[in-house]
Amino acid sequence: MQRPNNSRPIITHTNPKSPISETFRTLRTNIDFSSVDEQIRVIMLTSAGPGEGKSTTASNLAVAYAQSDKKVLVIDADLRKPTMHHTFMKTNRWGLSNVVSGQSAPVEVIVETHVHNLFLMPSGPVPPNPSEMLASKRMTAMLEELKESFDVIIIDTPPALAVTDAQVVATKVDGVLIVIDYGKVKREAAMKVKANLQHVNARMLGVVINNVNRKNGEGYYYYYYGNDQSAK
Amino acid sequence: MELDLKDYIKILRKRIWLIVSIVLVACLATGIVSFMFMDPSYEASTKIIVNKQNERVGADQIDLNTINMNIRLIDTYKEIIKTKRIMDKVVQGHPELNLTRDQLIQKVKVSSVNNTQVMTLAVQDESYAKAADIVNAVSKVFKEEIPSIYMGIDNVSILNEANRDDNAAPVKPNKKLNVAISFVVSLIVAFGLAFLLEYLDDTIKTEADVAKYLELPTLAMVTKIGEEDLGTERMNATRQVEVGEQHATAKQ
């Protein structure tokens, strides 16, 4: 299947040997081992503000899971400024908003991506009441239904400080990942995100620090090691 | 939060462009002001010896008491030179200088080396010739006025006058010194600013920050996407072009 050419590359798919790809595989492993008793299958990603790399992290993490022979679904639950359909070069005419409003069945809006084992549910048309839609019983029922068809479900949500959508979705998932842009998010903002999520008894898995400067050279060993192996 | 030397170096390296910019701007500004906008200032000086004229210089005739008195007199003379009485006489006797009494008092600097009978009068001006004229005029008037001021003692001699025709180098501005001072001061300011900005920076950067403020584990630290991360797809694209070219050649 041909890989789409887009401005937000899914490094884990396009260059699996890069240090960044390895970082996402490490993230996948850390999530898997963050719970001993029960398997974490529905993961939500949020951040304090916009442009911190939630969608990029979500798509790359989804690919990392798909590469480990798991059937993965990415749900774009950002019903205000959806971006996932751009990442995977798909239409946004039908999606989550159609399912939650009862216009479509989940199967009708889920699309196959260019990555093997990876599927996408776009956000669909932007509704006038996103928070209410995400809080609805239909949303809960839909997630329960999708759990039967997919091994891992990754949900991309709006920033936690901007709107309540992330808090609403957090009550319906197995774990929450907070994405923090390196050197951009103030301590108070990050603490507020955590407090907001704790308020709804969300289970927080941990933090992903994004856009870290590469000056310390972490990950280069893998990069060169990987290159040596491929040369052989 | 305790910082070791590595942390300090890291902070300075992180803000290196800020530091370099501040130092460069400061040095350039100082250089431009010193070289282009500051008028050069010249200094002319005369030396005066406090010693009785009728004293003969002979090893057996040196009166130590007189010498000591002359040395002590220097402090008095230093004050007398800058009095209105002397300066008024200079202004009256030398109208060509175009200076008021107060301007003269400001211009004339009097100094002496400890335990010597020599006094130095110095004047700074934008014209060396004028500085020489002023200092010579003050010296002469002082020499002439001392007997009438100080109990008829005539013990002041001019050792050497300032030559108005000398090709003197300007004493101000000291361009190199100005730039050097500017460099040191701006470097200190830049370092201070770098550390202040780091202190005021309350953003999340490390796993330690996450653990301290959020009490959550850091599951991953994703670096910025660089050229090497996009390398594989570019190599593949190049290979496809090469393969295409080979096919085209084979067909021909």
**Total number of residues shown for chain B:** 252
CB A139 within 8 A of CB A145: no
- Scan residues 14-33 of A and list those with Cβ closer than 8 Å to B: 14-21, 23-24, 26-27, 30-31
Q: Which residues of A touch B207 (CB under 8 A)?
A: 209
Round to whole Å and give the CA distance between A50 and A2.
Answer: 30
Three-state DSSP state, A211: strand
Query: Which residue among A17, A183, A208 places its CB closest to the CB of B220?
Result: A208
Residue A187: closest CA among chain B residues belongs to which residue?
B203
Q: How confident is the model at residue A218 (pLDDT cuts 50, 70, 90)?
A: very low
Q: Which CATH number fits domain A11-224: 3.40.710.10, 3.40.50.300, 3.30.420.40, 3.30.310.50?
A: 3.40.50.300
Put simply, whether A218 touches B (Cβ < 8 Å) is yes
Q: What is the pLDDT of residues A7-63, one digit of tens each?
A: 556 888 888 878 888 889 899 899 988 877 767 889 999 999 988 888 889 999 999
Is pLDDT above 70 for B232? no
B116 token code pair: 């010597």
Round to whole Å and give the CA distance between A194 and A29.
Answer: 23
Mean pLDDT is lowest, of A87-91, B10-14, B169-173, B243-247, for B243-247
B44 token code pair: 């002319």
Put simply, whether A51 touches B (Cβ < 8 Å) is no
Question: Does the domain formed by B42-160 have CATH 3.40.50.10320?
Answer: no
Partner-chain contact A186 B225, CB within 8 Å: no
Put simply, whether B231 touches A (Cβ < 8 Å) is yes
Round to whole Å and give the CA distance between A25 and B215.
Answer: 23
Which phi and psi angles does A147 have, rounded to 5°? Answer: -60, -30
Please classify residue A162 by burial: count the beta carbons closer than 10 Å to its beta carbon, then call 0-12 exposed, 13-18 middle and 19+ buried.
middle
Q: Which of B141, B143, B122 is nearest to B131 (CA)?
A: B122
Partner-chain contact B220 A30, CB within 8 Å: yes
**CA terminus-to-terminus distance, chain B:** 72
- Classify each residue of B215-229 as buried b or exposed e, where b means 16 or more C-beta atoms within 10 Å of its C-beta: ebebbbbbbebeebb
Half-sphere exposure (Cβ direction) of B10: Cα atoms closer than 13 Å: 9
Is pLDDT above 70 for B59? no
Q: Report the mean per-residue pLDDT for chain A.
A: 83
Every domain of chain A and the residues it spans: 11-224
How confident is the model at residue B227, as a pLDDT? 60
Q: What is the pLDDT of residues B189-225, one digit of tens each?
A: 999 999 898 878 888 888 888 998 888 998 998 887 7
Angle at B13 between CA B9 and CA B15, to 5 degrees: 120
Mean pLDDT is lowest, of A27-31, A81-85, A153-157, A217-221, for A217-221
Q: Which residues of B touch A190 (CB under 8 A)?
A: 204, 210, 213-214
- Scan residues 31-50 of A and list those with Cβ closer than 8 Å to B: 31, 34
